[in-house]
Amino acid sequence: MTASRHLQLWLIMLLVAGCSGLDQRGPASSSWQSHNAQLELLQQWTAIGKVALRTAKASESASLAWQQDNRNTYLHLSGPLGMGATTIHSNGRELEIHRDDNHTTVDISNPDAIVLNTGFDLPLNALSYWLKGIPAPAIKVQRLELDPQTELLQSLWQNDWEVSYHRYEQFQGFTLPTRLQIQRRETRAKIIISNWQTSPK
């Protein structure tokens, strides 16, 4: 499997809808609860940046443009000089993948089928929340730590994945991450977001 294909599959798995139980354990800080509630209501946004993925077998990076419109996700990935551009659309039921002249539609109503076909056991429907700096509400929170000064999310554990936040900035009245890292065992992804565009409802 090529490195670019590995990165594409990793991001596709994070787009697939799935549940692992509802258990939102976390700090009782009113500031954090208000911040979390504000971002849960933010359902329309665009994040522009870069992602670098490293596993035991591959290392790849790509430019990233992620547009979220409620349940609809539009993701555009492109490598150096625009090579290997991939566009992915998900409506929560199907994935449409466009790469060069190839178009593939995947039924994601049964996420286990994708796990069996790819061999990846990754968190489901989590990245759109993690990017905003909040836990995915449909996945059990194993541990959650806030920065003692800012009361923003500093680290988060869900499905044995650790998400670490290194920088936040203000965008249209929202405090959003601009540097984060997602890691479990030998898989590590570093994401840098240069710009957020928000359209609150």
User: Whole-number mean pLDDT of the chain?
Assistant: 78
Which pLDDT score is estimated for 133? 96
Is pLDDT of 51 > 80?
yes
Helix (H) or strand (E) holding 130: helix 127-132
Query: Given CA atoms 42, 44, 50, 56 in this order, what sign does their dihedral have?
Result: positive
CA–CA gap between residue 46 and residue 196 (Å, rounded): 6
Tokens of 48: 């522009």
Query: Given CA atoms 155, 89, 86, 15 in this order, what sign does their dihedral have?
Result: positive
- Domain count for the chain, please give it: 1
Question: pLDDT-derived band of residue 194, with 50, 70 and 90 as boundaries?
Answer: very high
CA–CA gap between residue 168 and residue 179 (Å, rounded): 7
* 85 three-class SS: coil
Question: pLDDT-derived band of residue 184, with 50, 70 and 90 as boundaries?
Answer: confident
CA–CA gap between residue 11 and residue 30 (Å, rounded): 33
Which pLDDT score is estimated for 15? 59
E-strand stretches of the chain: 44-54, 59-69, 72-78, 86-90, 94-99, 102-107, 141-146, 153-158, 161-171, 174-184, 187-198
Amino acid at 21: G
Residue with the two structure tokens 């504000």? 38
Question: pLDDT-derived band of residue 93, with 50, 70 and 90 as boundaries?
Answer: confident
Interval 126-172: pLDDT, tens: 888 999 999 998 788 999 999 999 999 999 999 889 999 999 999 99
Asked if 116 contacts 5 with a C-beta cutoff of 8 angstroms, the reply is no
Residue 103 domain boundaries: 3-198
Amino acid at 78: S
The mean per-residue pLDDT over the stretch 86-91 comes to 80
- pLDDT above 90 covers a percentage of the chain that reads 38
- pLDDT above 70 covers a percentage of the chain that reads 72
**Domain at 163, CATH number:** 2.50.20.10
Interval 95-133: pLDDT, tens: 777 777 777 777 766 656 555 544 444 455 688 899 999
Which pLDDT score is estimated for 188? 86
Q: Which residue has the higher pLDDT, 11 or 85?
A: 85
